[in-house]
């Protein structure tokens, strides 16, 4: 069943891709029209691995959108005549020439998926057409090792995390279907997209053509080899960071497994990336990091500490750990991700291989999150920020950009005038019958959605930051109000005001 997608590689061709894009455009082959066609519930069910609800919703519909939906979104064979009518500019022969399908009798058999992917960035809402290999729903079974992934949860996470900054040159390492390269191309003069998989690069190039993006250069090779001696203003990567045991019977999926032991690939990336950053340049990646218990001569070390030790002291480092899994939870997650469930005979041997591998290194937990490295453009105190963020987040890229700007600002001193960010609210909790709150919380509506407890003096300070009164004026008024010497009050609240600026609760008044 997987043989066709194993051997077929897309054949990008700018003339054919342009014709295909015109057909897709004319058919309104986009997320919203498709969702309207088969309904919200069926659309959501597909994301959970069920295609039946969509098939039932469009049963008997031979129209263009339904035909393209079944063929390209679900990866199911369709009558040749209906496909020919749905893509008149490209034609069935063109689809075959692009390496996306073959013809069997009077049916067009897709060998790839092609889906609309909507995204939101600083420029607003947009949508790409993204081709990738048939997924496990279309294949009805586990994925082949050389599978080229479409846009998944991790791709979306990285896309949200990438800072919306204008740069000259960007690198997307491990581009896969090319989604991150397309995104950064919106803000970069030129992008280099690399991958160790020739098939992935073919998909990425085809996707750039389908979406009319001409500023991406595609290079084959492992890690930083294809860009030896080159530096970039922005490096992004959703690398193959998944920790995989090197044991017989455990598939090494090219799309998620870099072939090294434990989290060595993330370590290698972090140790190598700095040499490829321009002054002020930023690298952003997703990763896993192992916490290890002490064994024999080795002392145990938490994952975030190990990660920090890989970063040169003069670089800024900001790590956001989104979750931490036990070895068992981690193994189960990634075995299931490859399409193997506990009912499959292969599941238990794989689980044992994973747990043995973790035990070998004394792994007690695996952290997941995003890492930001920056080569500072000027001398200053490097940023070292390691945090665990469990709550839901939004506009992370903009929040990271603001956090870096706040760090740079504070290196040169406290701004004279501050203003409370517009998404900040205050909650006061009182014991029944009390007039004074026992807890005051400041809450952030966007970004990292932080909630912090503050005392009355700090709450009053934040409340007075209207962009007109200076920091000095507010502090003096509070010292009088609370009847404490100004130096004492300032020594108490100044570090916490700095933290509020770093966290985006307060911003310099413009």
Ligand X SMILES: C[S@@+](CC[C@H](N)C(=O)[O-])C[C@H]1O[C@@H](n2cnc3c(N)ncnc32)[C@H](O)[C@@H]1O
- Is 197 among the residues that bind ligand X (CB under 6 A)? yes
Q: What are phi and psi of 240, to 5 degrees?
A: -75, 75
* Site stretch for ligand X (CB under 6 A), options 154-162, 308-316, 335-343, 451-459: 154-162
DSSP H helices, 437-483, are 456-464, 471-482
Torsion of CA 205, 208, 213, 215, to 10 degrees: -30
Cβ pair 204, 183 in contact under 8 A: no
Nearer to ligand X, 75 or 150 (CB): 150
Q: What are phi and psi of 255, to 5 degrees?
A: -75, -15
Nearer to ligand X, 258 or 504 (CB): 258
Nearer to ligand X, 77 or 221 (CB): 221
Determine which residue in the list 170, 196, 208, 418 makes contact with ligand X, applying CB under 6 A: 196
Determine which residue in the list 121, 133, 160, 195 makes contact with ligand X, applying CB under 6 A: 195
Report in angstroms how near the CB of residue 503 gets to ligand X at its nearest.
Answer: 28
Determine which residue in the list 94, 110, 245, 258 makes contact with ligand X, applying CB under 6 A: 258
Report in angstroms how near the CB of residue 176 gets to ligand X at its nearest.
Answer: 2
**Non-local CB neighbours of 501 within 8 Å, separated by 6+ positions:** 406, 409, 410, 415, 418, 507, 508
Distances (CA, A) of 285 to 128, 159, 369: 22, 10, 9
- Is 395 among the residues that bind ligand X (CB under 6 A)? no
Nearest in space to 194 (alpha carbons), one of 157, 164, 169, 226: 226
Rounded CA-CA distance 488/16 in Å is: 72
Nearer to ligand X, 223 or 393 (CB): 223
- Is 369 among the residues that bind ligand X (CB under 6 A)? no
Nearer to ligand X, 90 or 183 (CB): 183
Nearer to ligand X, 152 or 362 (CB): 152
Residue 168-187 contact track with ligand X, rule CB under 6 A, x = bound: -----xxxx--xx-------
Burial class of 126 by CB neighbour count within 10 A (0 to 12, 13 to 18, 19+): middle
Rounded CA-CA distance 73/42 in Å is: 13
Report in angstroms how near the CB of residue 216 gets to ligand X at its nearest.
Answer: 12
* Site stretch for ligand X (CB under 6 A), options 121-129, 146-154, 184-192, 308-316: 146-154
Rounded CA-CA distance 281/279 in Å is: 5
**Non-local CB neighbours of 193 within 8 Å, separated by 6+ positions:** 171, 172, 175, 178, 181, 201, 204, 216, 217, 218, 219
Report in angstroms how near the CB of residue 192 gets to ligand X at its nearest.
Answer: 12
- Is 71 among the residues that bind ligand X (CB under 6 A)? no
Q: Which of residues 199-218 bind ligand X (CB under 6 A)?
A: 200
Rounded CA-CA distance 320/123 in Å is: 25
Query: Nearest-CB residue to ligand X?
Result: 176
Q: Which of residues 236-255 bind ligand X (CB under 6 A)?
A: 238-240, 254-255
Enumerate binding residues for ligand X (CB under 6 A).
149, 151, 154-155, 158, 173-176, 179-180, 194-197, 200, 222-223, 238-240, 254-256, 258
């Amino acid at each position: 069943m997987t043989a066709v997608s194993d051997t077929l590689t897309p054949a990008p061709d700018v003339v054919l891709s342009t014709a295909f894009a015109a057909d897709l455009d004319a058919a309104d082959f986009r997320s919203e029209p498709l969702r309207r066609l088969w309904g919200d519930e069926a659309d959501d069910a597909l994301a959970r691995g069920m295609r039946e609800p969509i098939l039932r919703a469009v049963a008997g519909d031979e129209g263009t959108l339904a035909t393209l939906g079944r063929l390209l979104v679900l990866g199911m064979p369709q009558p040749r005549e209906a496909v020919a009518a749905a893509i008149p500019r490209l034609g069935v022969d063109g689809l075959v020439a692009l390496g996306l399908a073959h013809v069997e009798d009077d049916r067009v058999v897709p060998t790839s998926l092609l889906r609309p992917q909507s995204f939101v960035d600083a420029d607003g809402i947009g949508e790409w057409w993204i081709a990738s290999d048939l997924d496990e729903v279309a294949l009805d079974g586990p994925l082949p090792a050389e599978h080229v992934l479409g846009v998944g949860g991790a791709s979306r996470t990285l896309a949200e995390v990438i800072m919306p900054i204008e740069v000259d040159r960007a690198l997307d390492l491990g581009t896969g279907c090319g989604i991150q390269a397309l995104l950064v191309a919106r803000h970069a003069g030129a992008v280099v997209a690399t991958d160790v998989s020739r098939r992935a690069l073919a998909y990425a190039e085809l996707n750039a053509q389908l979406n009319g993006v001409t500023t991406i250069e595609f290079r084959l090779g492992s890690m930083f080899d294809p860009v030896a001696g080159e530096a970039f203003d922005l490096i992004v990567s959703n690398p193959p960071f998944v920790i995989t045991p090197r044991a017989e019977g455990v598939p090494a999926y090219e799309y998620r497994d870099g072939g090294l032991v434990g989290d060595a690939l993330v370590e290698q990336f972090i140790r190598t990336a700095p040499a490829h950053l321009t002054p002020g340049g930023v690298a952003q990646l997703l990763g896993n990091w192992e916490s290890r218990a002490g064994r024999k001569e080795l002392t145990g070390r938490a994952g975030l500490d190990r990660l920090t030790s890989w970063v040169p002291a003069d670089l800024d480092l900001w790590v956001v750990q989104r979750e931490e899994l036990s070895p068992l939870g981690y193994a189960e997650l990634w075995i299931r991700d490859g399409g193997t469930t506990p009912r499959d005979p292969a599941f238990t041997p794989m689980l044992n291989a994973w747990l043995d591998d973790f035990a070998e290194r004394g792994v007690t937990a695996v952290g997941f999150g995003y890492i930001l490295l920056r080569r500072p453009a000027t001398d200053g105190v490097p940023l070292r920020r390691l945090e665990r963020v469990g709550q839901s987040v939004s506009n992370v890229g903009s929040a990271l950009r603001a956090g870096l700007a706040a760090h740079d600002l504070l290196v040169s001193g406290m701004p004279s005038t501050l203003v409370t960010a517009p998404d900040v609210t205050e909650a006061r909790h009182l014991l029944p019958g009390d007039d004074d709150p026992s807890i005051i919380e400041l809450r952030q509506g966007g970004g990292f959605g932080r909630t912090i407890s503050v005392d009355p003096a700090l709450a009053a300070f934040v409340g007075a930051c209207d962009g007109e009164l200076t920091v000095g004026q507010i502090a003096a008024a509070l010292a009088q109000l609370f009847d404490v010497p100004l130096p004492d009050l300032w020594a108490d609240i100044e570090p916490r005001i700095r933290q509020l600026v770093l966290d985006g609760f307060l911003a310099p008044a413009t």
